[in-house]
C-alpha cells in the first residue's frame, strides 16, 4: 500500500540523496576546516568572526531575493532544476576559491580575499540549498514520502560527512588545503550531477500573480507556523558551537588534528543510524514529538559529558556516542518541517510559495552554521586565542574551547522549548491539508477532519 502512494521512483529518490550527499561533502569540509585555514593563514579569530557575521547580514538580503526569483521562475526546463544545474558547477568552484588564498598576500589582502570568496560561496550555496529542499515539496504531496526522501538524504549526507571527517584530517596536513579542496570539489560535483538527470517536478506554484518581496513578506506573516517553527530552530541553534570548534578541540585539547576523525566518527555514526531508522520511527511517532525527545536528550547528555570531562578518553567517547544519538534525531528532523509549512501556507493563503519557504530555511540553516561560528571566534578571541599555524594556546583559550565544544548547545536548547510549545502542526493534520491542496479531498472535508487542531 505504501509503495502505491509514492509519487517518485526509486532512481529519482537515490538521485536526490546523492545530490544532498555531494552538498554535504562541501559543507562538512568548509564548516570543519575554513576557520582553521583562515587562522593558520594569519587572520585573527576576531576577523574570522567578523567575516562570518557580515556574511549573515548579506544572507538577510540575498536569501529573500532569491526566494522571490525562485517563486517567479517557471521555465520550460523547470522551476528548480535550472538552478540546481548551475549550482552543480558554482558550488565546487567557490570552495576551491575559498582555500586558494595566495600566501604572498599581506594579512589585510588575505582577509579581503577570504571575505569575497565567502560571499561568492554563500550565493552558490543559496542557489543549491533552496531549490534542492524545495524539490521535496515539488516531487510529492505525500507527507510520509517526504520523510522517506529526507531520511534517505540524511543517511547519505551523514555518510558523506563521516567520509570527509575520516579522510580530510589525514590528507589536509600532507597535501595541503588547496589540493584537499580540489578533491572535495570534484567528488561533490560528480555526486550532485545525477539529480538533474532524474528529478521531476510535479507540485509547484504556477500562479499568474506576480511574486514580490512584499507578497512574500505577507505570505510569511500569514504563515504562523513557518514563523514559529523557524524561530524555534534558530533559537535552538544559536549557541551550538560544537562543530565550529571541533578542529580546535582536537588540536589544542587532545593534541592531534587526526583526532577529528575519531571524534567525528562517534558523533556522526549515531546520526547515520538514526537517519536509517527514522522512516520507521515516524510511522509510529509524530516527528514533532521525536524532535523534542532529541532536544531534551541531547541537552541532558551535554551536561553529563561536561562534568565527566575528556581525561578518560574511552568514557568520553561512549558518552559522545550516546549524545550523538539524540543529536542525530534533532538534526535529521529539523529539516523535515518546511514541507509542512508549505502545505499550511497554501491551505491558509492559497499560495504555494515554495521558494519563499525554502529560502527562509536556507537562511536559517546557514545562520545555524555561521553565526554560532562567529560567536565562537569572538569568544576565543576574548579568551586569548593565538592565530598562526602551530601557535601555543593559553589555558584560558583551551578551557573556552572545551566549554564551547560540549556545553554550548544547552542554552539554545532550553530557550527553544517554550517556542516549540506553541507549534501545533502534526503529521496527520499536514497530510489532510496536503490532500485538500492537491484536490484529493474538498475543502469542506478537510475542515471537518481538522476541526480546531490548527
Q: What is the pLDDT of residues 138-157, one digit of tens each?
A: 777 777 777 777 777 777 88
Rounded to whole angstroms, how far apart are CA atoms 147 and 152? 8
Beta strands in 139-253 (DSSP E): none
Does pLDDT of 81 surpass 80? Answer: yes
**Per-residue model confidence (pLDDT) at position 200:** 76
Average pLDDT over residues 423-450: 91
Predicted local confidence at residue 60, as pLDDT: 65
| Class of residue 167 by CB neighbours under 10 A (exposed 0-12, middle 13-18, buried 19+) | middle
Please say if the pLDDT value at position 7 is more than 50.
yes
- Does the pLDDT value for residue 207 go beyond 60? no
Pick from 51-65, 77-91, 216-230: least confident: 51-65
Task: Provide the pLDDT for residue 340.
Answer: 92
Those residues with Cβ within 8 angstroms of residue 145's Cβ, 6 or more apart along the chain or in another chain: 5, 6, 7, 8
Read off the pLDDT of each residue in 337-350 and give the average, rounded to a whole number: 89
pLDDT of residue 184: 94
With b for 16 or more beta-carbon neighbours within 10 A and e for fewer, the 95-107 pattern comes to bbbbbebeeeeee
Give the pLDDT band (50/70/90) at residue 213.
Answer: low
pTM of this structure: 0.68
**What pLDDT does 429 receive?**
93
Highest mean pLDDT among 16-25, 181-190, 430-439: 181-190
The mean pLDDT value of the chain amounts to 85
pLDDT at 208: 45
pLDDT at 1: 32
What band does 83 get if pLDDT is binned at 50, 70 and 90? confident
- What pLDDT, on the 0 to 100 scale, is given for residue 2? 40
Q: How far apart are CA 237 and CA 364, in angstroms?
A: 9
Average pLDDT over residues 41-63: 80
pLDDT range class, residue 425, cuts 50, 70, 90: very high
Share of the chain above pLDDT 70, in %: 95
**Residues 260, 268: Cα–Cα separation, whole Å:** 12
**pLDDT band at 205, cuts 50/70/90?**
low
Closest CA to 155 of 291, 17, 287, 340: 17
| Furthest C-alpha separation in the chain | 70
Mean pLDDT on 5-12: 74
- The residues near 47 (Cβ < 8 Å, ≥ 6 apart) are 111
Cα distances from 130 to residues 19, 123, 219, in angstroms, run 13, 11, 17
Cβ(213)–Cβ(65) below 8 Å: yes
Kindly report, residue by residue over 259-277, the tens digit of the pLDDT: 888 888 887 788 778 878 8
- Average confidence (pLDDT) over 338-355: 86
pLDDT at 419: 97
The pLDDT of residue 4 is above 70: no
- Euclidean distance between CA atoms 354 and 339, whole angstroms: 8
Q: Rounded mean pLDDT of 58-86?
A: 76
Please, where are the H alpha helices in 238-312? 242-248, 259-284, 287-308
C-alpha cell belonging to residue 344:
499550511
Please tell me the least confidently modeled range out of 129-133, 233-237, 287-291, 398-402.
129-133
Question: For 10-200+209-423, which CATH class?
Answer: mainly alpha
> Among candidates 182, 47, 188, which has minimal Cα distance to 114?
47
| Average confidence (pLDDT) over 395-406 | 95
Of the pLDDT bands very low, low, confident and very high (cuts 50, 70, 90), residue 3 is: very low
Amino acid at each position: 500500500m505504501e509503495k502505491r502512494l509514492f509519487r517518485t521512483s526509486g532512481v529519482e529518490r537515490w538521485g536526490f540523496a546523492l545530490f544532498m550527499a555531494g552538498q554535504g561533502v562541501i559543507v562538512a569540509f568548509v564548516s570543519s576546516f575554513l576557520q582553521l585555514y583562515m587562522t593558520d593563514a594569519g587572520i585573527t579569530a576576531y576577523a574570522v568572526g567578523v567575516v562570518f557575521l557580515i556574511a549573515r547580514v548579506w544572507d538577510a538580503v540575498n536569501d529573500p531575493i532569491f526566494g522571490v526569483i525562485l517563486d517567479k521562475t517557471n521555465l520550460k526546463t523547470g522551476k528548480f532544476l535550472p538552478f540546481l544545474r548551475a549550482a552543480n558547477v558554482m558550488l565546487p568552484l567557490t570552495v576551491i576559491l575559498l582555500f586558494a588564498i595566495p600566501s604572498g598576500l599581506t594579512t589585510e589582502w588575505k582577509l579581503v580575499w577570504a571575505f569575497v570568496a565567502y560571499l561568492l560561496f554563500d550565493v552558490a550555496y543559496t542557489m543549491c540549498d533552496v531549490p534542492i529542499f524545495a524539490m521535496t515539496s515539488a516531487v510529492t504531496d505525500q507527507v510520509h514520502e517526504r520523510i522517506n526522501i529526507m531520511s534517505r538524504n540524511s543517511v547519505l549526507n551523514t555518510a558523506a560527512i563521516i567520509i570527509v571527517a575520516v579522510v580530510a584530517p589525514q590528507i589536509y596536513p600532507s597535501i595541503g588545503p588547496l589540493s584537499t579542496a580540489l578533491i572535495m570539489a570534484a567528488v561533490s560535483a560528480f555526486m550532485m550531477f545525477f539529480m538533474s538527470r532524474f528529478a521531476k517536478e510535479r507540485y509547484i506554484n504556477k500562479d499568474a500573480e506576480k511574486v514580490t518581496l512584499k507578497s512574500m513578506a505577507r505570505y510569511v506573516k500569514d504563515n504562523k507556523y513557518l514563523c514559529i517553527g523557524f524561530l524555534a530552530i534558530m533559537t535552538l541553534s544559536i549557541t551550538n558551537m560544537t562543530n565550529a570548534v571541533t578542529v580546535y578541540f582536537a588540536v589544542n585539547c587532545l593534541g592531534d588534528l587526526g583526532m577529528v576523525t575519531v571524534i567525528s566518527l562517534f558523533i556522526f555514526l549515531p546520526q547515520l543510524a538514526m537517519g536509517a531508522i527514522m522512516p520507521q520511527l515516524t510511522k509510529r511517532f509524530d516527528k514533532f514529538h521525536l524532535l523534542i525527545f532529541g532536544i531534551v536528550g541531547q541537552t541532558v547528555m551535554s551536561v553529563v559529558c561536561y562534568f565527566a570531562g575528556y581525561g578518560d578518553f574511552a568514557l568520553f567517547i561512549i558518552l559522545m556516542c550516546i549524545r550523538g544519538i539524540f543529536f542525530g534525531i534533532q538534526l535529521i528532523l529539523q529539516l523535515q518541517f518546511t514541507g509542512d509549512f508549505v502545505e499550511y501556507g497554501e491551505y491558509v493563503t492559497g499560495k504555494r510559495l515554495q521558494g519563499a519557504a525554502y529560502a527562509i530555511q536556507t537562511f536559517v540553516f546557514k545562520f545555524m552554521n555561521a553565526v554560532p561560528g562567529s560567536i565562537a571566534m569572538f569568544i576565543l578571541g576574548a579568551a586569548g586565542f593565538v592565530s598562526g599555524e602551530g601557535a601555543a594556546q593559553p589555558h584560558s583559550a583551551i578551557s573556552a574551547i572545551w566549554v564551547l565544544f560540549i556545553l554550548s548547545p544547552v542554552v539554545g536548547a532550553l530557550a527553544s522549548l517554550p517556542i516549540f510549545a506553541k507549534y501545533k502542526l502534526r503529521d496527520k493534520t499536514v497530510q489532510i491539508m496536503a490532500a485538500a491542496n492537491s484536490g484529493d479531498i474538498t475543502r469542506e472535508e478537510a475542515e471537518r477532519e481538522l476541526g480546531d487542531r490548527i
